[in-house]
Structure 1
Amino acid sequence: MKHWRPFRFPPLLQVPAAAPGPHGDDAVQLQASVADGFRQGMDAGYREGVAAGEQAGRDAGLAQGLAEGRAQGFEAARREVLAQFDGLAAPLAAAAEAMRRTCEDYQGALREDVVELVAKVARQVIRCELTLKPAQILDLVEETLAALPPVSGEVEVLLNAEECARIRELAPERAARWRLVPDAKLAAGECRVRTAESEADAGCQQRLEACLDKVREQMGAAAPLTAPGGTAGTGAVAEV
């Protein structure tokens, strides 16, 4: 900001009062000239001050306008860049979300394939065990009866017809403990226990399904699987 210094006008010329005479007009004229000079000095100082003030105001306004213009331009540019970035990022975000869903679907399908493989192996093992030792299904009957309330009266055990005949042939003593009833609707490895108070499923399938649910639960909490041949996928199958 420009600094101002006060303007000091020269003192008025003190003219002694002239006596009336031929030189009196000169004194009056001199006094008038001094007054005119004073007024001219006042006017010149006023005009100079006004001009200087206007220039200072213009300079200050220009500086403030430039600063505000820069700030507004920066903000407008920032908003425009952000808008362009959002426009470019939206397709990338959609692609990333689609990729994430694809990976989740792939992982889910891979886990289900592993569970299905475990189920197939388990069914083969159960089938072989029951073929070699069909009386093992009676162990399931005993476990089921132990979980039921105290039984009074006769206990019926509904079995697959072929397994029922083989159990009577290979383990007649154990078969005599209950009334074995062949049921053509039951698949191999399935049986139902029926008492006067209740009826329960003692077969292998529902037990296998419970085990597979546990496998699914554990695999869902485990690390992501990889495609067949990958180290992570192989480790997951081996662990199951």
Structure 2
Amino acid sequence: MPTAEEIERIHSEAQESGYAAGHAAGYETGLANGRDEGYAEGVARGREESTRLEALMQELAQALSQSDQQLADQLLTLAVELASQVLRHSLRIQPELILPVVREAIATLPAHHGHPLLFLNPDDAALVRSHLGEQLSHNAWRIVEDAAITAGGCRIEIGASEVDATLQSRFRRVIDTIGARSDWLAPPR
């Protein structure tokens, strides 16, 4: 793709070329037909050439704009993929990052009656039991191991209420907020 300086240079050269061609044609026609007719015809040709060049410049500007948008979309997709990989790697290195997620999910629930269920990946369940087990059992929480939940996320059910704090749902909310595609959110195979 041409740079802005190259586009400006092409535009200037095209204008100069169009002007010179119109001037030369007008001059020649003026010599052949008399000065007034040749001048008017030269001006008309110059305007036609200028209009044609302006249309070309608009097409070029539109193509550049589309290219910029495609590049921005590709960069956003790359940034989201990198964030996903960094998060998954961080969760492998620091699995205790699940603890604030669980606390935040519990805090979003209104006062409850009944027996709340906390669904966690089996690896996360062991960690949550060791760090929050006493507090959860004191408030009648039951931890349910669910291999379908990706490590780093959880889901809570209490009566008709549900809090979805799975990794995929949290990422989907972020992605929806910034308006990007979320097809990469499928769980890893």
TM-score (norm 1): 0.49
**Alignment of structure 1 residues 1-240 onto 2, 5 Å:** 74-130=39-95, 133=96, 137-169=98-130, 171-177=132-138, 178-211=141-174, 216=178
Following the alignment from structure 1 to structure 2, what is the Cα–Cα distance between the partners of residues 203 and 108? 26
Secondary structure, aligned partner of 1:112:
helix
Q: Which runs of 5+ in 1 are unaligned?
A: 1-68, 218-240
Cα gap change, 1:202/1:99 in structure 2, threshold over 3 Å: closer, same or farther? closer
Cα gap change, 1:202/1:114 in structure 2, threshold over 3 Å: closer, same or farther? closer
Secondary structure, aligned partner of 1:148:
coil
Following the alignment from structure 2 to structure 1, what is the Cα–Cα distance between the partners of residues 175 and 91? 14
Please say if residues 158 and 181 of structure 1, whose CA atoms lie closer than 8 Å, have aligned partners that are also in contact: yes
Please say if residues 117 and 144 of structure 2, whose CA atoms lie closer than 8 Å, have aligned partners that are also in contact: yes
Please tell me the residue identity of whatever aligns with 1:85. S
Secondary structure, aligned partner of 1:180:
strand
Secondary structure, aligned partner of 1:176:
helix
Across the aligned residues of Structure 1 and Structure 2, the Cα RMSD in angstroms comes to 3.0
Following the alignment from structure 1 to structure 2, what is the Cα–Cα distance between the partners of residues 167 and 148? 18
Q: Indicate the residue corresponding to 1:223 in structure 2.
A: none
Aligned length, in residue pairs: 144
Which digits, 9 at most, give the CA deviation of each residue in 1:48-103, with x for residues without a partner? xxxxxxxxxxxxxxxxxxxxx96665444322211122234433432332233213
Please say if residues 161 and 183 of structure 1, whose CA atoms lie closer than 8 Å, have aligned partners that are also in contact: yes
Please tell me the residue identity of whatever aligns with 2:118. V
Q: Which runs of 5+ in 2 are unaligned?
A: 1-33, 180-189
Q: Shift of the alpha carbon at 1:170?
A: 5.6
Moved more, 192-201 or 81-90: 81-90
Cα gap change, 1:171/1:89 in structure 2, threshold over 3 Å: closer, same or farther? closer
Following the alignment from structure 2 to structure 1, what is the Cα–Cα distance between the partners of residues 48 and 69? 31
Following the alignment from structure 1 to structure 2, what is the Cα–Cα distance between the partners of residues 126 and 79? 71
TM-score (norm 2): 0.60
Equivalent pairs: percent with the same residue? 30
Cα gap change, 1:129/1:212 in structure 2, threshold over 3 Å: closer, same or farther? farther
Please say if residues 98 and 124 of structure 2, whose CA atoms lie closer than 8 Å, have aligned partners that are also in contact: no
Please tell me the residue identity of whatever aligns with 2:104. E
Please say if residues 157 and 193 of structure 1, whose CA atoms lie closer than 8 Å, have aligned partners that are also in contact: yes
Please tell me the residue identity of whatever aligns with 2:59. A
Please say if residues 144 and 200 of structure 1, whose CA atoms lie closer than 8 Å, have aligned partners that are also in contact: yes
Please say if residues 140 and 203 of structure 1, whose CA atoms lie closer than 8 Å, have aligned partners that are also in contact: no
Cα gap change, 1:138/1:89 in structure 2, threshold over 3 Å: closer, same or farther? closer
Please identify the structure whose Cα radius of gyration is greater: 1
Cα gap change, 1:138/1:151 in structure 2, threshold over 3 Å: closer, same or farther? farther
